[in-house]
């Protein structure tokens, strides 16, 4: 059986950054309960963990935006969707500019 494995040195940086961003995005969505059929009533929501993941994602995207090319727009949109979902699900929403990752992205309403 032959494994189709690429050497990390052969993977372009934009692909590594994009994959890391997608992993952070997916994990944040899970922590927000967005993977459940009923996100509002999900027992798996953990906003503290989601905040950390969203902030890390915002830092990665902001620091890497010049290298992301056509990937930048969709990644930013995904990040903003997570930030809005976080605000919606918070029982005490953060002030504008104080939400997860907003120190990197600016306020998200």
pLDDT in tens, the chain (109 residues): 677 778 888 899 999 999 999 999 999 999 999 988 887 778 889 999 999 999 999 999 999 999 999 999 999 999 999 999 999 999 998 999 999 999 999 999 8
**Residue 83 is encoded by which pair of tokens?**
């930030």
**pLDDT on residue 42:** 84
The Cα angle at residue 60 between residues 56 and 64, in degrees rounded to 5 = 170
Q: How far is CA 105 from the centre of its chain?
A: 12
Q: Which pair of tokens denotes residue 2?
A: 């032959």
Neighbours of 40 (CB within 10 A): 9
Contact 55, 31 (CB under 8 A): no
pTM: 0.90
CA 63 to chain centre: 14
91 DSSP assignment: S
Q: What is the pLDDT of residue 7?
A: 86
């Amino acid at each position: 059986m032959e494994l189709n494995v690429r050497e990390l040195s052969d993977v372009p940086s934009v692909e590594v950054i994009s994959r890391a961003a997608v992993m952070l995005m997916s994990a944040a969505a899970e922590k927000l309960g967005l993977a459940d059929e009923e996100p509002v009533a999900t027992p798996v929501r953990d906003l503290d963990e989601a905040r950390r993941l969203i902030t890390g994602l915002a830092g990665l995207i902001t620091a890497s935006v010049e290298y992301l090319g056509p990937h930048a727009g969709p990644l930013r949109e995904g990040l903003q969707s997570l930030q809005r979902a976080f605000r919606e699900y918070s029982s005490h929403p953060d002030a504008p500019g104080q939400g997860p990752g907003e120190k990197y992205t600016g306020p998200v309403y």
